[in-house]
Structure 1
Amino acid sequence: MNRKQIISMVLAFAMVAILAVGCSSKETDKSNKGEDQKKPVKLVFWGGVPADAGPQNVVDTWNKTNPDVQVEYNRFVNDDEGNLKLDTALITNQAVDVYFSYNVPRLQKRVDAGTALNLKDFKDYDIEDKMGPSALDWKIGEDYYAIPTTKNVYMIWLNDNLLKEHNLAVPTAWTWSEMQEYGNKLKTDKRYGLVQFLESYADPMDSILSQFGETKADGTSNLDHPGIATWLTTLNEMMGTGATVPLGEQLTSKMPVETMFLKGEAAMLNAGPYIFRSSNNLTENPREFKIAFAPVPRITEDPAEHKQRNGLGDGLTINPKSKHVDEAWAFSKWYADEGVMLMAAGGRVPSSKDVDREAAVKLMIEGVEDLYDVDSLQNVLFEQENTFTRKTPQQVLDLRREEYEKFFVGSQQLEQTINNMVKRHNDYLKQ
């Protein structure tokens, strides 16, 4: 072999080596890209409950067992301003994959805006079988756009020590007239008989309308039903005597009614089980009195004419613009059957039949059982029948509120208030 042949052979081997290195480098690049593609999917989960009252425990538990799908919690306050923040994020394509709609009117608006995914194509989870017939209240048209994950229970929280001082029994069924009597007996110069959240103010009105219909047989408004005038008059009288706080004062001061009750500045509180996250926190809300529970009173004397606002709540909703819809659905199913149990200590009562509700109640009051009348709690959570879920459109809720607020602050008489609500409701119905 001459010199030229040797040189040619060396060059050929060198070229083969260079090509092999290049191919190896490309294969390594491909492998690295494959590793990049295996980064965990990130889901952003929006809810109205403070992270330390259950949601952080939920996402931490999920993330430990689902390394490929990591969830991050983002809290919004469940009021008008907070819901506007969420709706803005949905419309402007900010990071929202799964979120809560806390009532049907809110969900309806999101369905209309195209920001709630229709769940009809998911066949591996039967919402009605899991949640029972009350789930039907969450249907929009013929379909579900959310999984209602909790059992909504509105109830009257009672200072049991004060009841005993005044020889008053814990009611198992009562009327607004009877609650007015309790309020008058329990009030003092420094203590209201009853305080309420503004969100639940119209529940007596909705109880009447859910039983007798929002419209009459001729299709016109039923807001002039006699029961509504009875509610307006009774509550207004309670404001006048100090049995409850005047609405004008509550609106201007943004009164912390929950804190007032836990401090003993009110004997009764109209609220849901979400208060447990505060009433169990004896560091921030120290108290020595026991809390008992009663159902929300009815307007009419006949129990058969009353419906209790309970039903289901906390509708878990998927953003149709999410890039990870399948993962969001997997998280939603897990939350509805398992994850929601981690919310019980914060006052959420799971609605799925796969959850042990009595165990949830134990978690709700764990460590402070002696500060509650457990029998009355069980009664309001599980023994109330003939319930309703508020489904009135937000526009109607708003127009009603605007009129009854005028009445309660003294700028409008009862008859004018009823007439205005009826007229405005009829105008809405014509639209």
Structure 2
Amino acid sequence: MKKKWLLGAASVMMVAGLLAGCGSDNGGNNGGNGNANGGATEGNGAQSAGGSDAGSGTGEKIKLTLWGAVPEEAGAQAVLDDWNKANPDIQVEYVRYVNDDPGNLKLDTALLTGQDADLYMNYTLNRLQKRVDAGTAVDLSGSGYDIDGQMGPDAAQWKIGGKYYGIPTKKNMGFIWLNKKMLDDAGLPVPPIDWTWSDLRDYAKKLTKDGVYGLLQHDAMFTATIDGTVAGLGLTKPDGSSNFDNDLWKQQFQILHDMMFVDKSTPEYGEQLTSKMPVDTMFLQGEAAMLSAGEFIFRNANNLKDYPHDFQIAFATIPKVTADQKDYKYAGGLGDVLSVNAKSKHQEAALKFAEWYADGGMLPMASGGRIPSSKSVDNKQAMDLMLKGVEDKYDADSMNKVVFGSFPSFQLAVPQQVLDARKEEYEKYFLNKQDLDTTLANMAKEHEELTKK
């Protein structure tokens, strides 16, 4: 599928928008894909839309709680203020959770208890799948809201068992952020669309100097290339065995390892992990020439009061592994999937809010890079909100080509247990506790075993 993001006209100059929660993930983003795997139905606990609202029609005020990873000050509270002012009979409160493992566990616990969690955001397909399996996501098939019609063909990547258990509300984007002044000083052009990890390594070496990394990566984007690679290759080989030991993964892991330990152009994995590097802040402070991240960084890049910077930002795609790599897919598509908790006592009211949010209610978050995906939203209005007062801080040409280009995207349909096992193995390699061949073999073996289970 193609993610088709509207290009701004010359008068708009540029636009941007991705991802996740705190990223990520992975993310956003991230995070952070392929077609959704099926099997989830009402039989496993998931419910159809249409639960009754306690107090509805009695004059009792309904109180809903929305869980999301966007900071309140990044537009989330403004969204709820708009809704609450216009809907005194249905008041919505916001609970922020961090889009990491502990944060998602906190949300899942709240969903299962049915207390104070009526609506919630999903930032990855595997997290949504888990919630469908747990019976905490309403099947929206009978809700009357036309997700395909409103959100376009990319929305189908979020189907589970052929059904929607949430509304994909925004355009996701993942790319390389570039300090254009540093590129110019090094005599380097903005990278072409079809560049590779070898090209990126060369750029990073030339851009690295005292106090400046050539490349930083947000956690949510760490696996963007390997995910995009296997999304194109397929999760399994023709004989049914895992594709997690493919040669392209081996090449990319080796390049990144060399960048850490040979070139010193990107932080060592252990250092970044233990120090919890604020990579977006470091990039905006001029401590890195390139940053792999999603559109969620716009909320900081546009905040010149707290993150002042005097350079223009340009953009490049997440690179392929090799120039001749076929069927490579890019981190992107649609994201911020808003679901209704099947255990909520106010499902009808929650769905009413979700539809309003998706069809324009979320616009106050555009300044932080969250561009609505609904066709009911005026894209130029969202673009203007995002770039208001910071138009000169971005390179218009690369923004239009990359941020709002048209690229094949994915949502990786892999269970969380598989991703956790994969991460455990590649961390051993990047911490120099395990060689690369063993790492790839273990990832493939665990993928096969967990899939059988």
Query: Do the structures match in fold with TM over 0.5?
Result: yes
* Structure 2 Cα separation of the partners of residues 106 and 122 of structure 1: 22
Q: How much does 1:88 deviate?
A: 0.9
Q: Among 180, 185, 199, which residue is 2:220 paired with?
A: 199
Equivalent residues of 1:159, 1:291 under 8 A apart = yes
Aligned to 1:21: none
Give the gaps of 5 or more residues in structure 1.
1-33
Give 1:177's match in structure 2, choosing from 181, 198, 212.
Answer: 198
Q: 1:135: Cα distance to partner?
A: 0.8
Of Structure 1 and Structure 2, the greater helix share is in 1
Equivalent in the alignment of 1:76: 97
Structure 2 residue 143 is matched with structure 1 residue 122: yes
- Structure 2 residue aligned with 1:221, among 234, 242, 249? 242
Residues in 2 aligned to 1:411 and 1:393: alpha-carbon distance in whole angstroms? 25
Q: Residue 323 of structure 1 corresponds to which residue in structure 2?
A: 345
Matched, 1:168 2:180: no
CA shift for structure 1 position 418? 1.0
The one-letter amino acid of 2:220's match is: E
Q: What is the distance in 1 between the residues matched to 2:427 and 2:175?
A: 23
Note the alpha carbon deviations across 1:330-376, whole angstroms, 9 max, x for none: 11111111112221111112111222334322211211111111332
Equivalent residues in 2 for 1:5-404 (5 A)? 37-123=58-144, 125-173=145-193, 174-240=195-261, 241-302=263-324, 304-404=326-426
> Residue by residue, what CA displacement relative to the aligned partner does 1:80-121 show, whole Å, maximum 9, x if unpaired?
111111111111222111110111100000001111111112
Question: What amino acid maps onto 1:247 in structure 2?
Answer: Y
Compute the displacement of 1:35 (Å): 13
Instruction: Write the letter of the residue equivalent to 1:364.
Output: M
Q: Does the 8 Å CA contact 2:315/2:403 hold for their aligned counterparts?
A: no
Mapped contact 1:300–1:306 kept (Cα < 8 A): no
> TM-score, normalization: structure 1?
0.89
1:189 Cα shift? 2.4
Compute the displacement of 1:209 (Å). Answer: 0.7
Q: Measure the CA separation in 2 of the matches of 1:224 and 1:303.
A: 16
1:20: which partner in 2? Answer: none
Alpha-carbon distance, 1:211 to partner: 0.5
Confirm or deny: 8 A CA contact 1:172 1:294 kept in the other structure: yes
* Distance (Å, rounded) in 2 between the aligned partners of 1:211 and 1:423: 20
Maintained 8 Å contact 1:299/1:306? no
Deviates more, 1:295-304 or 1:407-416: 295-304
Structure 2: give runs of 5+ residues left out of the alignment: 1-54
RMSD: 1.6
Higher relative contact order (CA 8 A, sep 6+): 2
How many angstroms does 1:273 deviate by?
Answer: 1.0
Map of 2:23 onto structure 1: none
Q: Is the 8 A contact 1:276 1:365 kept in 2?
A: no
Provide the rounded CA distance (Å) in 2 between the counterparts of 1:64 and 1:374. 37
- CA distance in structure 2 between the partners assigned to 1:238 and 1:85 by the alignment: 36
User: Which residue does 1:421 correspond to in 2?
Assistant: 443
SS in 2 for 1:345: helix
Helix, strand or coil at the partner of 2:211 = coil
Q: For residue 215 of structure 2, what is the amino acid of its counterpart?
A: L
Asked if structure 1 preserves the Cα contact closer than 8 Å seen for 2:216 and 2:266, the reply is yes
**Offset from partner CA, 1:143-201 (integer Å, 9 cap, x none):** 11000001110011100110111111112411111111110010112111111112221
CA distance in 1: counterparts of 2:115 and 2:347, whole angstroms = 15
- Kindly indicate whether the alpha-carbon contact (under 8 Å) linking 1:158 and 1:291 is maintained by their aligned counterparts in 2: yes
Alpha-carbon offset, residue 382 of structure 1: 2.1
CA contact 2:221–2:294 (8 Å) conserved in 1: no
Distance 1:411 1:384 in 2: 40
2:210 and 2:412 map into 1 onto residues whose CA distance is 35
| Cα distance in 2 for residues equivalent to 1:36 and 1:364 | 39
Offset, 1:63: 1.4
Query: How many percent of aligned residue pairs carry the same amino acid?
Result: 52
TM-score (norm 2): 0.85
User: In structure 1, what is the equivalent of residue 17 of structure 2?
Assistant: none
